[in-house]
Structure 1
Amino acid sequence: MTDAQQNAEPGRTAVVTGGGSGIGRAVTLELLGHGWSVALAGRHEGRLEETVALAAEAAGRALVVPTDVTRPEEVRALFASAAERFGPLGLLFNNAGIFGGGGVPVEELAYETWRDVVEVNLNGAFLCAQAAFRHFKEQRPQGGRIINNGSISAHTPRPHSIAYTATKHAMTGLTKSLSLDGRPYRIACGQIDIGNAATDMTERMRSGILQADGSVRSEPVMDVADVARTVRHMAELPLDTNVQFATVLASGMPYIGRG
């Protein structure tokens, strides 16, 4: 392989998990709108199809792959389908996640709820990252990028969020390990930590949510399209450049300062 071939950038092809709603939908539409081809995954095929319909004339570059990210065989099939349709892959946006158990005190949290959150947010993220890593390592040109959706809960918790917060802290370890282990193979890995993007998951922020001091207050939210643009910026950097960690949040939310 020549130096030029070795240093070539992978194609503008992406796998986006959790593409049927919220941040995953916004990122899918942002990528499609700027010339990327996207395989979007999620448990609900109808929601994925709704995302594609919103892409209008770019819909021909989208591939819907219903996927449960907690099942290794379905994750393998997702990446195989994406590679078969689009060729060498350039990006995984590792986004699928659930909040699970929000508002439940530690002593009352059911183990089944804890396990479900860990299965999706951590095990599912690992399985998708592992599949992407294998494809990036083996394909020619070699390499690609993984962007993990961390959340500002990877830095500081909300009250009664132990399962979600623990998995998002674990996501940071996943990001660092992938970034290190990917160096020899031109695999870059970064993380975006998002606070209060306007999605269905954050709708309760507007009406009022429990604060660290015990009060209940509404919080500002930001346009999810601003998050999507940040992900695209990270995705479109050359592989010799990486945004290791990015924090994007609604400016007035209670994150910086004392609770």
Structure 2
Amino acid sequence: MSRKAFITGANKGIGYETARQLAARGMTVLVGARDAELGQAAVDKLRADGADAHFVQIDVSDEESVNAAAARIEAEFGGLDVLVNNAAITGGMEGDGKASSGTLATLRRVYETNVFGLFAVTNALLPLLRRSESARIVNVSSEVGSLSLRTDPNNPMSQMVSAIPYTSSKTAVSMVTVLYAMELRDTAIKVNAANPGYTATDLNGNSGFRTVEQGAEPSVHLATLPADGPSGTFWGYLWGGEQEYGPIPW
């Protein structure tokens, strides 16, 4: 029986490509998306390429929707082996993008999806993941939320102007990842954060220098870790590093 992977925000961009790559590795992929039409279109495209793909409607910022998705996955698939928390929003650029230019409304909206939504989805699906012999949880994060990189004067990240909502939400994702990894360290479940790097998607107006195929690679790697793989790590694209991929400092 094939392993089952659920990817949120999987109707396009990195989420869709993550589903495609996992399907190419023989997994059954459950495509999570808010919009039923877009989600089903993504599934149809995946199936046309031979994937075992299924649409699961979910709005990660709506607890009722999250619980309904979890109930459907349990009823139709009986369990889950991989969860990729990919869904995220930026909140856009407010004013000049500096910390003092943001609004509380945007901060709340971004956290509802990027942090609270991730938390809700993970908790709702954790009972199903516990049934797996080797479950994997991947939280898609970003290097822009690394405290180490942002405070290192020798790193280009320290010069980057970033709005508080998106950037700090990814810092929060780091701690969420660590705490779940600590709770589950005596189980077969591995929990890690992925850094796609600056990938061209709708999230950034397709301004990134990495392709979605490249951006999905860290998530796919962490979703397919062997039994002796790490847990509680931040791993992915190393901007300007000697190696393309490796551990990212928190």
1:124 matched to 2:113:
no
TM-score (norm 1): 0.79
Structure 2 Cα separation of the partners of residues 169 and 84 of structure 1: 34
2:221 to 233, 250, 256: 233
Q: C-alpha deviations, 1:19-72, integer Å up to 9, x for none?
A: 112111111111122211111112112221222222144566212112111122
Amino acid at match of 2:9: G
Tell me the equivalent position of 2:210.
Answer: 222
Cα 1:250–1:106 change in 2 (3 A) is closer
Q: In the TM superposition, what is the alpha-carbon distance from 1:77 to its structure 2 partner?
A: 1.9
Task: Count how many residue pairs are aligned between Structure 1 and Structure 2.
Answer: 227
Structure 2 Cα separation of the partners of residues 247 and 64 of structure 1: 27
2:181–2:192 contact (8 Å) kept in structure 1: yes
Tell me the equivalent position of 1:145.
Answer: 136
Which runs of 5 or more residues in structure 2 are unaligned?
151-156, 242-250
1:37–1:86 contact (8 Å) kept in structure 2: no
Q: C-alpha deviations, 1:139-183, integer Å up to 9, x for none?
A: 2x4551100001112213641410111110000001101111012
Q: C-alpha deviations, 1:198-232, integer Å up to 9, x for none?
A: 21223363xxxxxxxxxxxxxx6011112323322
Q: Which has the larger radius of gyration?
A: 1
Structure 1 Cα separation of the partners of residues 49 and 28 of structure 2: 9
Tell me the equivalent position of 1:6.
Answer: none
The share of aligned pairs that are identical, in percent, is: 28
Q: In the TM superposition, what is the alpha-carbon distance from 1:192 to its structure 2 partner?
A: 0.6
Structure 1 Cα separation of the partners of residues 12 and 86 of structure 2: 11
Which runs of 5 or more residues in structure 1 are unaligned?
1-9, 206-219, 253-259
Structure 2 Cα separation of the partners of residues 240 and 86 of structure 1: 27
Q: RMSD of the TM alignment (CA)? A: 2.3
2:91–2:166 contact (8 Å) kept in structure 1: yes
Which has the higher mean CA deviation after the structures are superposed, 227-236 or 19-28?
227-236
1:198–1:221 contact (8 Å) kept in structure 2: yes
